[in-house]
Amino acid sequence: MYDFLRRLPKAELHLHIEGSLEPELMFQLAERNAITLPYTSVEEVKAAYEFDDLQSFLDLYYQGMAVLRTAEDFHDLAMDYFRRAHAEGVVHVEISFDPQAHLARGIELNVQMEGLGRARRRAERELGVSSALIMSFLRDRPAEEALHVLEQAAPYWETLDAVGLDSAEYGHPPSKFREVFARAKALGIPRVAHAGEEGPAAYISEALDLLEVCRIDHGVRCLEDPVLVERLRQERIPLTVCPLSNVRLKVVEHIDDHPLPKLLEAGLLLTINSDDPAYFGGGVLDNYLACARAFDWSRQTFIQMARNALNVAFMEEDRRRALLKDLESIPLED
């Protein structure tokens, strides 16, 4: 099953590039930028990766990204991830990044965009990995700030494949960002949003109704609302599910308890993703393998998961057709 799943041409739709920062690279960038980390070794960093909830992870997440200072740092961060993803059979990556978290540290938007853009072009040229870029807004910061960042990004609107909504969910409903997402819609930029991870199913409905998103990141708590489940099924709204993330952040206690089988049984449009691979136990392939061990899914089910991701990814249609053709050529038997 490992070889089969590695061969599958997979798309990663839910990936926070700051969450791909491996401890080894963290120390390298800290040394490059003369930053003193509150850790003395890679092992000590990894020992801190025991989270009680989403907020305890976010505290470490924001601390780690302090090493990102220059365009070269953002380039190296993204390329480090692209290389690992390519080795796992990932052919397309949708990179979410958090501009507010960097602007708050005095890192200008052009620095972020230059580094990530250069890495994306290099990954396509050298690895054959295509990508999309999602500018995510931090829901625990003021909506007015998010709107200002969107306007500040005017020189880059044409390079944004979507805007998103992430960070601490409790107490920050999607409705808070209605004006920001309306502005993105007016600009013709697609919208996605985290909802129904730690927040209730009602947040998913809000994201659909008020933000007019085309995709829900996580969405696992939709099962609390049967009417919502039926809506998601009928409207074919994709859910970018991140099983290992849900375990590490205590959304579920064990992978065996994950609602993925129930979501699949309900006929929902599901994709498997890694979220923050450096912190949550691995990339897309590790998440596929975790599902194989926990749910004993057939190869056909995994092919369908990979097909779903390719079908709903932000990519050129010629690229989509080529990748789907590659997927259909994967034999079901060794």
> Which active-site residues does the annotation give?
197
Residue 184 one-letter amino acid: A
Give, in order, the Cα–Cα distances in Å from 39 to each of 31, 50, 64, 121, 281: 13, 15, 11, 33, 20
CB 133 within 8 Å of CB 164: no
Q: What distance in Å separates the CA atoms of residue 140 and residue 205, rounded to the nearest whole number?
A: 19
Q: What distance in Å separates the CA atoms of residue 280 and residue 248, rounded to the nearest whole number?
A: 6
| DSSP annotation of 224 | G
Question: Between the CA atoms of 31, 32, 36 and 39, what dihedral angle is there, to the nearest 10 degrees?
Answer: -50
The pair phi, psi for residue 297, each rounded to 5°, is: -70, 155
Q: Which residues contact 7 (CB under 8 A, 6 or more apart)?
A: 89, 330
Residue 311 one-letter amino acid: N
Q: What distance in Å separates the CA atoms of residue 222 and residue 197, rounded to the nearest whole number?
A: 9
Please tell me whether residue 138 adopts helix, strand or coil conformation.
strand
